[in-house]
């Protein structure tokens, strides 16, 4: 009786570990894929003149808030 219970517990443990490992791997791949498409952009705050860098999605027209004062700024174009 104890042997079957131990085997079932072991099987359950392996199954749960497998699912967890798969989930972690998929999550990491999604993050890497997402970051590959994101661009590093430079920003100059129009209020406090602070220069900062941030990641933003491609073709995004939205501004990124300044870490100093919170004003949203559009990326610098060179
Ligand atoms: Zn600012």
For ligand 1, the distance from its centroid to the CA atom of residue 78, given in whole angstroms, is 20
The answer to whether residues 73 and 46 touch, using CB atoms and an 8 Å cutoff, is yes
pLDDT in tens, 33-69: 766 767 788 999 999 999 999 988 777 778 899 999 9
- Spans of all domains in the chain: 1-37, 39-78
For ligand 1, the distance from its centroid to the CA atom of residue 47, given in whole angstroms, is 5
Predicted model pTM: 0.50
Could you give the count of Cα atoms lying within 13 Å of 23 in the half-sphere of its Cβ? Answer: 6
pLDDT for 1: 57
- Residues 36-57 as b/e (b if ≥16 CB within 10 A, e otherwise) read eeeeebebebeeeeeeeebebe
26: left (phi over 0), alpha (psi -120 to 50) or beta: alpha
């Amino acid at each position: 009786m104890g042997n079957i219970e131990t085997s079932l517990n072991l099987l359950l443990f392996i199954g749960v570990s497998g699912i967890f490992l798969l989930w972690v791997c998929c999550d990491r791949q999604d993050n890497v894929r997402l970051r590959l498409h994101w661009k590093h952009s430079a920003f100059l705050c129009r209020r406090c003149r602070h220069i900062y860098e941030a990641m933003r999605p491609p073709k995004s027209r939205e501004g990124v808030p300044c870490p100093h004062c919170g004003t949203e700024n559009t990326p610098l174009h060179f």
